[in-house]
Structure 1
Amino acid sequence: MTYRISLTALALALAGLVAHPVPAGAAAGAGPSAAAPSVEWKSCPDYSDEVVRSLGVTEDKVAAFRTLMRRLECGTVSVPLNHGDPDGRKIDIAVTRLAATDKAQRLGAVAVLPGGPGNNGYLDPVLRAALRNKEMAGLNERYDIIGFDPRGVGYSTKVACPISQGGPQEPGPLTKEAARTMYDAQAAANEKCGNSDPAFLGQLTTENVAKDLDLVRTAMGESKLNLLGFSWGTYLGMVYRSVFPGRTGRAFLDSVAPPWTRIDEHVKGAAGAAERNFGRLAAWLARRDETYGLGATTRQVREQVVKLVRAYDKSPKTYTDLQRPVDGAAVADLARRNSTEWARAGKALAELRTATGSTAPPTVKALLGGQMMGTPLPGAPETLNLTMNLAVACNEDGSRADFDTAWRGYQQLVKRHPVTGRSWGLPAMCPGWPLPVQQATLKRGSGSLVLAGHLHEFMSVYDWTLQTRRAVGGTVYTVADDVHTSTTRVPECAADVVKYFETGRVDKGCAGSPIPS
């Protein structure tokens, strides 16, 4: 799934407080022999100022962050590893809660569902709600905000196995021989990983995370949960709503996942959307030809970037200050950036037209120099658990493409999408995964549901929002941008989110992140 791409996770801490009482019968649905779950409250982790800043909290918000953390409750809920065996092995789910500030008019609890699969959500009550902007801070007035690390992630029970990225690839066009080598290396690593702890890894599914969340609901004494989901968290929201329709309140899902779990189709759809969105970038650059020099028309810009892709594939460059070689795939990566990075992407593409010397041009280095999965500072919370990401994706992948199918798919991507197609690898993540396919059954519901689709983004293609509405119902909220999960970050849109949770009503959409001037 495209939800493998990590969002920035942020963190801090405090002392645990006393749990709300658990109502009688709250354990319903946990299994006939399961005891009613409860929260074991404890002190929150303590983070240094260096860790706080490294996680994305700007200097002007550090004090406010620490003030919020003094209100945060942290704890764990014990759940069955296998929900079909409620008296068997138990694992811990790390949870947090930021209690509503207006207790007299409290409306309930909103659970924040993180992306991934594999992203943490432990500090989302602060970072995705109270600290994000003044509009989102308003959500905490009448709602408790609940965060959690899904099973296999962060402070929850997890395992780890070496993750293969298919082995190193020589710069330049991907050949069939090299692709086969990468595929076989991926298959061997996947088989080794899946067999390392099948009892645990086989239980890493979206449906099991949903069942964990329902036990968290019970432990926190809530009769219903309202849901605020992002990226993969939108699929988690669909599954929770399908399994527990009577326990689901209002749900707002941003950057909606498709109602299916085929990795090959996921890459195919995302690649098409990325190429289409480049047309918007090309038009933007053409209107600024005096600045970027890539062409005065959309067609000229497109032709110029295709030339760059081919030129750097023919003659890749290795810079002394850049770990990644610059070939056609790197150029294509720059070309598929969203609108928040158009100015820098255009400058980097312009730099590559005339680049000389042994060091990378400054903007190229800025955009291509960062590592996809940076190593956090000591003491920082885990941002993305790659083992959980792999296990959930492969346990649910309905395609599991063989090499010949994956190779044909890759060739089609490159042919159909000459600008951005090279940025995609083989559309096969799960060769060799030894555990059986497990897919959740989505059900159409009548409860309140808003599906926020972004017109031009490729990580969650807008058409997937429409497919999801046909599958499970709900109201489409259209965000006219290309920025993944931007809704709560844009004040105008965030105000709509909060209004929805307070009133149950929502507008038809918002403009989203502005295009740079």
Structure 2
Amino acid sequence: MTRSRVIAGLAAVAAAAGTTAMVPAAAAERASGVAWRTCPNYSGETLKRLAPPEQQAELRKLLARMECGTVSVPLDYRQPSGRQITIAVTRLKATDRGHRLGSLAVNPGGPGGSGYLMPIQLVLDHENGTGAKVNQRYDLIGFDPRGVGYSTKVNCPKAGRGPELGSPVTEAAAKAAYDWTVQTNKACGDYDPAFLGRLTTANVARDLDRVSAGLGEKKLSFLGISWGTWLGALYRNLYPNRVQLMWLDSTAIPDFRLDAFQDGRSRATTLDWGRFAAWMGARDGTYGFGSTQREVQSSIAAMKQEFVAHPKTFSDLPDVTFDGFLMSQIAAQPSLNWPLSAGLLKELQTAKSGEPAPPLVKEVFSGGSDDGGEPPADLPEQFNPTMNHAVFCNEDTGPRDFATFWAAYQKGVKRDPVTGELRQPLNDCAGWPLPAQPVRLRHSDAPLVMSAHRYEVPSPYPWSLQMRAAVGGSVLTVDDDIHGSVAGMPSDCAPRIAAYFASGKPDNGECQGVPVPTSTSTSADALKSSTSKPSDLGRSLIKSRSTRPAAPGQA
């Protein structure tokens, strides 16, 4: 994955908040200074993980001018004098101090993603150019949300791997996974309920206001991606008069329920699979699955059923089983991976089980699930799975019983025989012992622009329109399917962010975003916008199936 995609894709969208009332803290309770201290001194091995060789010199310069500190905040804002925790903060001061416009906080998503080094990552991302331009006139503020990285956190004990769901998923297998989920969720939630129960987006928003106060700012600007958009929306609801400017890329669903969350993503996946089928149909001479969208979909559906009935394995890839679920994963890739996905489907159609894997299949899946070896001891935490799980489960207000999700899963599979199986047949928060903490969003006139990607899956386009109806603001429509691409990838949309933070003028137009590939080539040069190498796709597919269902306390 490229550096820009890392910024854009730190995880998947969440949505919802953590209190039953949206009442901001009093101004007198807000003041809390930043305790500045020496920044971490990273080892050479960690620096190599943070940036490619050609950016090492610039990375070191940015680290040298980065400031690091902590802000003390209440664990429970209903008891402001009770237990205190710390929020880790970084700052890259504006390079043009004479024309400084204020502070701009950034968040990459998750929940559970670290934003500690995000200011540096944004400035290093020259292809996009947003970070360096914004940093000319804004102090870029990074922070680890409570429960993540250098901030106060709790990690639930690792639960191990859950029962295999298989392909196709049977009711018995889904029920076994549901029972295991109930058991592991209870063990996690009971591990430290006082802390885990306070892991909510609204509390992170309150923490961010304390950070703003500690920086001496009366107003704060904000750039959020994925779950960071939900954080921004709640911050804006809690403190509308303290928002200078706000941009949210790939906006979260405004009324968070895991059943609605999964339904929206499932429908978006079906739509995108249709686009991919049409793309392959236009290149029938290369792939041979048919010349129309319908023909391709029919051919791949039949191929998937064959892999369900007769999964394939290859002598030189003994740890990978190519079954119906893997076929669904390959078919559901975003457009940047379409050349790879179509090439894999073509090879797998005629490949013989038990023999060596075809060339592209071997190249993509030869990396296994290895993520590059044991990380250096001083490598900053990029993602905290306990925080991710707790925020989701503390904010899900929908049903968690087995019957509801199993019925929705069956309906989804019937509607889309190719990608419907990717929907979870159970609620990952089943059995979570802590109470749900809903939030009521309010309309506001505080500045807000949301960039909505017309075809993306993690944050489907309708969610941005629903958020606008709930809270106000403007929507920039992006004609691509790439999650967080406006903030994290080079395109005609990227300059719109810098222009907005410079002028403050709302942006409710349209832009192309990241274009759909026209070439069918799977060479390294052709794929450089998609993945750093084809094996990254194979690793991500293997990893995603190994965490199905998810376990609290582990990624």
Q: Over aligned residues, Cα RMSD in angstroms?
A: 2.4
C-alpha deviation, 1:493, in angstroms: 1.4
CA contact (8 A) 1:30 1:215 kept: no
CA contact (8 A) 1:166 1:186 kept: no
- Structure 1 segment 315-326 matched on structure 2, within 5 A: 315-319=310-314, 321=317, 323-326=319-322
Match of 2:495 in 1: 495
CA distance in 2, matches of 1:32, 1:137: 33
Moved more, 424-433 or 494-503: 424-433
Match of 2:479 in 1: 480
The superposition leaves residues 278-317 of structure 1 with CA deviations (integer Å, 9 ceiling, x where unpaired) of 1111111112222222222212211121112211111123
- Residue 97 (1) aligns with residue 91 (2): yes
Q: Which runs of 5+ in 2 are unaligned?
A: 1-5, 11-22, 519-555
C-alpha deviation, 1:440, in angstroms: 2.1
SS in 2 for 1:291: helix
Relative to structure 1, the CA distance from residue 206 to residue 458 in structure 2 (aligned partners, 3 Å threshold; closer, same or farther) is same
CA distance in 1, matches of 2:44, 2:515: 32
- Residue 278 (1) aligns with residue 273 (2): yes
Q: 1:208 aligns with which of 203, 209, 221?
A: 203
Moved more, 295-304 or 29-38: 29-38
Relative to structure 1, the CA distance from residue 246 to residue 170 in structure 2 (aligned partners, 3 Å threshold; closer, same or farther) is closer
CA distance in 1, matches of 2:160, 2:398: 19
CA contact (8 A) 1:486 1:513 kept: yes
C-alpha deviation, 1:322, in angstroms: 5.8
- Residue 291 (1) aligns with residue 291 (2): no
C-alpha deviation, 1:58, in angstroms: 2.5
- Residue 312 (1) aligns with residue 307 (2): yes
CA distance in 2, matches of 1:8, 1:281: 21
Q: 1:377 aligns with which of 375, 380, 393?
A: 375
Q: Which runs of 5+ in 1 are unaligned?
A: 10-27
CA distance in 2, matches of 1:481, 1:168: 36
Match of 1:264 in 2: 259
CA contact (8 A) 1:171 1:316 kept: no
- Residue 329 (1) aligns with residue 325 (2): yes
CA distance in 1, matches of 2:105, 2:187: 35
2:490 aligned partner, one-letter code: V
Moved more, 281-290 or 453-462: 281-290
CA distance in 2, matches of 1:7, 1:158: 24
Match of 2:213 in 1: 218
CA contact (8 A) 2:282 2:292 kept: yes
CA distance in 1, matches of 2:262, 2:515: 26
SS in 1 for 2:36: strand
Match of 2:105 in 1: 111
The superposition leaves residues 19-70 of structure 1 with CA deviations (integer Å, 9 ceiling, x where unpaired) of xxxxxxxxx9656985831212222223344333434x23222222222221
Moved more, 61-70 or 361-370: 361-370
C-alpha deviation, 1:435, in angstroms: 0.3
Match of 2:419 in 1: 420
The superposition leaves residues 218-252 of structure 1 with CA deviations (integer Å, 9 ceiling, x where unpaired) of 01111111110100000000000001111111110
CA distance in 2, matches of 1:342, 1:115: 25
Match of 2:409 in 1: 410
2:414 aligned partner, one-letter code: K
C-alpha deviation, 1:348, in angstroms: 1.0
- Residue 159 (1) aligns with residue 187 (2): no
SS in 2 for 1:167: coil
SS in 1 for 2:190: helix
Match of 1:389 in 2: 388
Relative to structure 1, the CA distance from residue 88 to residue 193 in structure 2 (aligned partners, 3 Å threshold; closer, same or farther) is same
- Residue 230 (1) aligns with residue 231 (2): no
CA contact (8 A) 1:211 1:240 kept: yes
Match of 2:398 in 1: 399
CA contact (8 A) 1:272 1:417 kept: no
C-alpha deviation, 1:371, in angstroms: 4.2
- Residue 241 (1) aligns with residue 204 (2): no
2:180 aligned partner, one-letter code: A
- Structure 1 segment 395-474 matched on structure 2, within 5 A: 395-474=394-473
C-alpha deviation, 1:352, in angstroms: 1.2
2:418 aligned partner, one-letter code: V
- With normalisation by structure 2, the TM-score equals 0.84
C-alpha deviation, 1:324, in angstroms: 4.3
The superposition leaves residues 419-473 of structure 1 with CA deviations (integer Å, 9 ceiling, x where unpaired) of 2111222241111000000022211100111011000001100001100000000
Match of 1:181 in 2: 176
CA distance in 2, matches of 1:35, 1:482: 40
CA distance in 2, matches of 1:372, 1:443: 45
- Percent pairwise identity: 45
C-alpha deviation, 1:135, in angstroms: 4.1
C-alpha deviation, 1:166, in angstroms: 6.8
- Residue 121 (1) aligns with residue 115 (2): yes
1:103 aligned partner, one-letter code: R
Moved more, 282-291 or 212-221: 282-291
Moved more, 327-336 or 505-514: 505-514
CA contact (8 A) 2:486 2:493 kept: yes
CA distance in 1, matches of 2:30, 2:132: 36
CA contact (8 A) 1:460 1:484 kept: yes
CA contact (8 A) 1:242 1:441 kept: no
The superposition leaves residues 332-352 of structure 1 with CA deviations (integer Å, 9 ceiling, x where unpaired) of 111111111111011111121
CA distance in 2, matches of 1:481, 1:407: 31
Higher relative contact order (CA 8 A, sep 6+): 2
- With normalisation by structure 1, the TM-score equals 0.90
Match of 1:348 in 2: 344
CA distance in 2, matches of 1:197, 1:490: 42
1:499 aligned partner, one-letter code: A
The superposition leaves residues 97-131 of structure 1 with CA deviations (integer Å, 9 ceiling, x where unpaired) of 11001111111111102211111111111113453
CA contact (8 A) 1:6 1:383 kept: no
Match of 1:516 in 2: 517
C-alpha deviation, 1:494, in angstroms: 1.6
Relative to structure 1, the CA distance from residue 6 to residue 67 in structure 2 (aligned partners, 3 Å threshold; closer, same or farther) is closer
CA contact (8 A) 1:409 1:426 kept: yes
Relative to structure 1, the CA distance from residue 250 to residue 372 in structure 2 (aligned partners, 3 Å threshold; closer, same or farther) is farther
SS in 2 for 1:235: helix
CA distance in 2, matches of 1:415, 1:87: 54
CA distance in 2, matches of 1:197, 1:6: 30
1:490 aligned partner, one-letter code: P
1:476 aligned partner, one-letter code: V
2:375 aligned partner, one-letter code: L
CA distance in 1, matches of 2:67, 2:461: 36
C-alpha deviation, 1:188, in angstroms: 0.2
CA distance in 2, matches of 1:337, 1:285: 13
CA distance in 2, matches of 1:306, 1:414: 11
CA contact (8 A) 2:8 2:225 kept: no
CA contact (8 A) 1:112 1:227 kept: yes
CA contact (8 A) 2:397 2:436 kept: yes
Moved more, 241-250 or 357-366: 357-366
CA distance in 1, matches of 2:381, 2:490: 26
